[in-house]
Structure 1
Amino acid sequence: MKMLINAPERVVADALRGMAAAHPELVVDVENRMVVRRDAPVSGKVALVSGGGSGHEPLHAGFVGHGMLDAACPGEVFTSPVPDQAFRAATATDSGAGVLFVVKNYTGDVLNFDMAMELAEDEGVRAARVLVEDDVAVTDSLFTAGRRGTGGTLFVEKLAGAAAEQGAPLETVEALARRVAEACRSYGVALGPCSTPAKGGPTFDLPTGELELGIGIHGEPGRERRAMMTAAEIAEVTVDALLEDLGGPPTGRPFLALVNGMGATPLLELYGFNAEVQRVLAERGAVVARTLVGNYVTSLDMAGCSVTLCEADEELLRLWDAPVSTAALRWGR
C-alpha cells in the first residue's frame, strides 16, 4: 500500500506537527500528545476533554475549539491514549469549574480515562465522565464490553460543548451529555477495508463484490456480509436498524442526522447516499431538523459510511446551532 508518510512510528507526531502549523489558534504539544484551545483555561467554564486512538480524524483533535472541546488526547493509531495524556489535558484546561471527559466505549479508553479522572480528582479537579455507546450493530465486539462508541461522539461533544461555552455548571453539562449519548444511535457499512501504517496493508479481507454491514471504526466485523448493494438498499437497511433500536416508528420529535464517511468515500457518493437516507427517513415518518454530511469520524482509508441519528428537542437544536469554531466544524462566528 502507498501512504503519504515518512515512517509508521512517526505518523501521529508528524500529523500533530502539521496541525500545529495549520492552526495557530491551537496549542499542539507533540511530545505529550495533546491538543488544547489556545485560550484555555477559560475562566468560569467547564472544560471538555476527549480523545482516543488516532486514525479517526478529524475526531477528536479536529473538534478542539470554541463551542466544542477544550482539549483532545490522540493515542497511537487505533490505540487508546494513556492516562497521563488525559490527566495533563484536564489540568491544562480546568478553570476551577470542573472537567467533563467524553469517552467512547472501548475497553482501553474507558480504563485509561477512568484512571485520568482519579488522578485529576487527587489534584483537586472536579471531574465527571460520560460514556458514548451508540453503535446498534453489535454488542461485545473485539474492542468493547457493550456497544461501541462511534458517530454519536460528535453530537455529544458539540451539544455539551455549546452548553459549557454558555456557562452551564458541571452537573448540567454532564446531565446534558448523558442525555445526548442516550439519544444517539449509529450504524456503519464498509465497502472496503482500512490499512494501518504499521501493517502497510488491509486490516481485514473484504472480497470484491461484497460489503460488511454493521462495522466498527477500527474495521471490526459487523453483523453480516452481503453482495454489494445500491445506495438505496444500504439506506433502507441502515435506517431501519437505527429506528428499530430507537423503539420503532418515530415519536414526532425531530432528529439530528450525521451521514459520515469512513475516510475514503468521496463527497459525491456521500451526498448521493444522504439523499437516500433522507428519503427512507421521510417514508418512515421521521422529521430531520439538521443534517451534517462529510468525513468526521473516520477509519483511516476505509471505504464506506455510517449514519447517526440523535433524537432532539428545542434545547438540543438551539445548542446545535450555537457558534462553533474548530479545525473541522465551524459555523456562527
Structure 2
Amino acid sequence: MKKLINDPAEVVDAALAGMAAAHPDLRVDAKQRVVARADAPVPGKVGLVSGGGSGHEPLHAGFVGPGMLDAACAGEIFTSPVPDQILAATAAVDGGAGVLHIVKNYTGDVMNFEMAAELAAAETGIEVLAVVVNDDVAVQDSLYTAGRRGVGATVVLEKIAGAAAEQRRTLAEVAGIATRVSADSRSMGVALTSCTVPAVGRPTFELGPDDMELGIGIHGEPGRQRLPLAPAHEVAGLLVEPLLADLPFRRGDRVLCLLNGMGGTPLLELYLMFDEVSRILRGHGIEIARSLVGSYITSLDMAGCSVTLTRLDDELTALWDYPVRTPALRWGM
C-alpha cells in the first residue's frame, strides 16, 4: 500500500485538520468531526445537513458553504457518522426554520440519521425532515442497504436543495424539491480497480487486469456482473442504457448529466467518457441541459466512473444555476 498518510488510524482527523487550514471560511469541530459554514446558523434559513463515511471526498464536507450544505458529518472510512455527531451538526445549523437531513440509502446512515432526528426533536425541539437518496439502478438490496444505494445523485440533490434553502423557502418546500430530485435521478457505476482502505492495507476486492465490475458500489460492494474490459463506447452504453430504461427517460427530456470519477481516474478519461455518453443521449433524443464532469463522490483510489442523469424542468434548472461557494463546487459568487 502506497498512500500519503502518517498513521492509518488518524487519516480522517488529519484530513479534517487540513480542511480547516485550507478553508478558513468553514468551521471545523474536530471533536465531533463536523464541518459547518462559518456563518451558521443563518437566521430564518432552513439548515441542510448531510454526511456519511469518509473516503468519498469531496462528498460531503467539500460541499459545505453558501448555496449548498450548512454542515456535514464525517464518519470513519466507509462508516456512518454516529447520532451524536449528526445531532451536533443539526443544532449548529438551526436558524429557526428547521433542518433537512440528506441521507444516502445505507442501513447505518438511515438508522443513525433517524436517531439523531428523534434526539433533536426531544432535546431541542428542532423540526427535522429527511430525504433519502436511492438512485443506484445496479442492484436492489445489498449487504449495506434495503432498496437501492444512494450514490451520485446525492451531489445533485445537495446543490439543488441548497439553492432552495438559500432562497429562504420553507422546510416543507426544500424537502419537496429534494424528494423530486431523488425521484427523477438514476445512477450507475463501473470499477476498473478496487480501492484500498488505509486501515486494511490491501484491496477491498480482487479484480483481474482484464476485468471490470459493472454496477459497483461506492464502498466496493459487488455490482451486477463482472465483464471483460471493453472500449469506452461499450462501457458508456452499459452504464447509460439501464438508466434510460429505469426511470424511464423519454425523447425530448432535458437532463443534468454528472460524469463522476471514482477517485483514481484521470480527467482526460472522464471527458472521453462524457463524449461517449453524450452521443448515446443524443441518439435517444435526450438533451444534456446541464453537465458536471469530475470526481465528486469517490471511493478512495478506485479507478472507474459513474453516470448520473437527473431529469430537469425550468425550476430545477434555475436552482442548479443558483450561485454556490463551497470548496469543491462554486459558481456565480
The alignment's TM-score, normalised by the length of structure 1, stands at: 0.99
For 2:74, give the aligned amino acid.
P
Structure 1 match to 2:276 = 276
Structure 2 match to 1:9 = 9
Structure 1 distance, partners of 2:263, 2:126, is: 37
Structure 2 match to 1:64 = 64
Structure 2 distance, partners of 1:224, 1:69, is: 35
Q: Structure 1 regions of 5+ residues with no counterpart?
A: none
For 1:116, give the aligned amino acid.
A
Deviation string for 1:60-118 (max 9, x for gaps)? 00000000000000000000000000100010100110000000000000000000000
For 1:239, give the aligned amino acid.
V
Structure 1 match to 2:23 = 23
Structure 2 match to 1:243 = 244
Percent identical pairs in the alignment equals: 62
For 1:193, give the aligned amino acid.
S
SS of the equivalent of 1:19 reads helix
SS of the equivalent of 1:301 reads coil
Superposition deviation, residue 246 in structure 1: 1.4
Superposition deviation, residue 253 in structure 1: 2.5
Structure 2 match to 1:100 = 100
* Pairing of 1:186-197 with structure 2 (within 5 A): 186-197=187-198
SS of the equivalent of 1:147 reads coil
Structure 2 match to 1:287 = 287
* Pairing of 1:251-266 with structure 2 (within 5 A): 251-266=251-266
Superposition deviation, residue 43 in structure 1: 1.1
Structure 2 distance, partners of 1:104, 1:263, is: 19
Superposition deviation, residue 26 in structure 1: 0.1
Structure 1 distance, partners of 2:244, 2:215, is: 15
For 1:140, give the aligned amino acid.
D
Superposition deviation, residue 254 in structure 1: 0.5
SS of the equivalent of 1:65 reads coil
Q: Structure 2 regions of 5+ residues with no counterpart?
A: none
Structure 1 match to 2:317 = 317
Across the two proteins, how many residue pairs are aligned to each other? Answer: 332
Structure 1 distance, partners of 2:161, 2:252, is: 23
Structure 1 distance, partners of 2:244, 2:28, is: 40
SS of the equivalent of 1:66 reads coil
* Pairing of 1:125-144 with structure 2 (within 5 A): 125-144=126-145
In the alignment, is the contact (CA less than 8 A) between 2:251 and 2:284 conserved in 1? no
* Pairing of 1:92-241 with structure 2 (within 5 A): 92-122=92-122, 123-241=124-242
In the alignment, is the contact (CA less than 8 A) between 2:120 and 2:126 conserved in 1? yes
1:73 aligns with 2:73: yes
Structure 2 distance, partners of 1:98, 1:309, is: 29
Aligned Cα root-mean-square deviation (Å):
0.7
Structure 2 distance, partners of 1:66, 1:229, is: 41
Deviation string for 1:184-203 (max 9, x for gaps)? 10000000000000111100
Structure 1 distance, partners of 2:211, 2:116, is: 42
Superposition deviation, residue 251 in structure 1: 4.5
For 2:12, give the aligned amino acid.
V
Deviation string for 1:182-241 (max 9, x for gaps)? 111000000000000011110000011000000010010000011101110001111101
Superposition deviation, residue 142 in structure 1: 1.6
